[in-house]
Amino acid sequence: MKVIKAFIHQHRAADVIQALKAAGGVSNLFVTTGQGMLVAIDAGEQHYSMDLGDTVIRECKLELLCEDEQVDALVAVVRQHARTGKPEAGWVYVTDVIQAIPIGTSE
C-alpha cells in the first residue's frame, strides 16, 4: 500500500477531490487546510501571517491511502486537476505504508 500526499492551492481542492472520486477507489481520503508558502497565483491569493512572519497562501494537504497499482493513475489525476497555470502549483509525494491496522477489531 501507498500514501499519496498532495500539497495544492485551496481553490483547486474541490476539483481534485471530485476527480479522485470519479477515478474510483477513493475511500481513504483526508483533507487538511492551512497556510503554506506555495507560489501565489496573484497578489490577491496571498496574505501576511503574523504567526509565521511571512507571506502565505491558503493550501490543502490531501492524503490518500491506495493500493500500489493505483498510484500512477491517482497521481496523474491530482496533477491534472491541481494545475493553476504556474510552473509550481504544488507537490505530490508518495510513500510506502509499512502497516495498516483497522481500529475496532481485536486482531
Question: Where do the structural domains in the chain lie, given as residue ranges?
Answer: 2-96
CATH of domain 2-96: 3.30.70.120
Q: Which residues of 68-90 are buried (b: 16+ CB within 10 A; e: fewer)?
A: eebbeebbebbeebbebeeeebb
pLDDT at 84: 92
Are the CB atoms for 4 and 74 separated by under 8 Å? yes
Q: How far apart are CA 104 and CA 101, in angstroms?
A: 9
* Tens digits of residue pLDDT in 31-67: 999 888 887 887 788 878 788 788 888 899 999 999 9
* Tens digits of residue pLDDT in 4-26: 999 999 999 999 999 999 998 67
